[in-house]
Amino acid sequence: MNYIFSTSLIHMALKMADQEQVLHTPMEWAQRKDRVLLTIVLEDCKEPNIEITDTGLHFKGKGGTENKLHEAKIEFFKEIDSKESKYAVLPRHISLILKKKDATEEHFWPRLLKEKTKVHWLKTDFNKWKDEDDSDYEGAGGGEGGAGDMDLESMMQNMGGMGGMGGMDAGGDMENDKESSDSDDEDLPDLE
């Protein structure tokens, strides 16, 4: 009887070894009054399966350095408008913009998840975070990944009339530099 039991354990162990281990996907989040900015941190994700509902999100996909299967299923603090929400699969992560269903009722959510628990795979994205008392102008920092609404050319033109950096003094006159002495130019003592 011990022989049969041992054989069945070996078969069960082999079956479990054949099954791929599913890892929980790391995520980062930030918010605005009208939307939630969610980042699924998984590089090189090929053919992800993303299902956005009004109450939650289900993600499944292979990626990462070892091309392992990752999965996440979360339930949001409040409802979102799944039809107005969108996502983009990028080389290093998947970026989601989730439109809040009723942004007038309560502008900022106290948390992303419905349950009030701390989970190790969800972090605050402080690069995109904006508090309730921050200004509504979002173009200055590129808060949504990248340059946002920032127009670099117009910014450079507005910087003191520099247009093409012509007004900057790029180091002064080289002849005057020869006259000034630098302590680094002195002879160094021999090493013992």
pLDDT of residue 53: 96
Q: pLDDT > 70: what percent of the chain?
A: 59
Q: Which tens digit of pLDDT belongs to each residue from 49-74?
A: 999 999 999 999 999 988 999 999 99
Q: Which tens digit of pLDDT belongs to each residue from 101-132?
A: 886 666 788 999 999 999 999 999 988 877 76
Q: Does residue 75 carry a pLDDT above 70?
A: yes
Question: Domain residues of the chain, as ranges?
Answer: 21-128
pLDDT of residue 176: 55
User: Does domain 21-128 bear CATH number 2.60.40.790?
Assistant: yes
Q: Does residue 135 carry a pLDDT above 80?
A: no
3-class SS letters over the chain: CHHHHHHHHHHHHHHHHHCCCCEECCEEEEECCCEEEEEECCCCCEEEEEEECCCEEEEEEEECCCCEEEEEEEEECCCEEEEEEEEEECCCCEEEEEEECCCCCCCCCCCCECCCCCCCCEEECCCCCCCCCCCCCCCCCCCCCCCCCCCHHHHHHCCCCCCCCCCCCCCCCHHHHHHCCCHHHCCCCCCC
Q: Which tens digit of pLDDT belongs to each residue from 22-44?
A: 888 999 999 988 999 999 999 99
pLDDT tier at 140 (50, 70, 90 boundaries)? very low
pLDDT of residue 157: 57
Check if the beta carbon of residue 20 is closer than 8 Å to that of residue 34. no
Q: Does residue 19 carry a pLDDT above 80?
A: no
